[in-house]
Amino acid sequence: MKYKKLTVEEEQVIEHKGTEPAFSGEYDRHFGNGGYFCRRCDSKLYNSEDKFDAHCGWPSFDQEVAGAVKRLPDADGRRVEIQCASCNAHLGHVFEGEQMTEKNTRHCVNSISLVFKSNGEAK
């Protein structure tokens, strides 16, 4: 699979499981209509209607596109890491049981791992 060339900052998060600073990402307060795609492989990960403001400093979604995101135990032993199912890019973490939405799930995603495409330009 051919991947997009990443900047040093993108590589730190996507390949080395880093985290961008809270409230610094371009999609934290972004609520356009469209889809969110993996920055590395361009697979569709989330739909805009599943995004919500969790006031945590990172984009939050309560549901992924079916089959697009995989969950793995995090190295810290406490959290669940989420990755792109197509290319294994690190996205962030998923939390359940917080009662923030009816789906009771929060995908806390680094903006730098995503690319937003409006409905007119999304595949």
Residue type, 92: G
Q: Which residue has the tokens 């989420």?
A: 82
108 is catalytic: yes
Q: How far apart are CA 27 and CA 94, in angstroms?
A: 17
Q: Which amino acid is at 33?
A: N
Q: Which of 38, 41, 84, 108 is catalytic?
A: 108
Only one residue has tokens 């403001």, namely: 53
Active site residues: 108
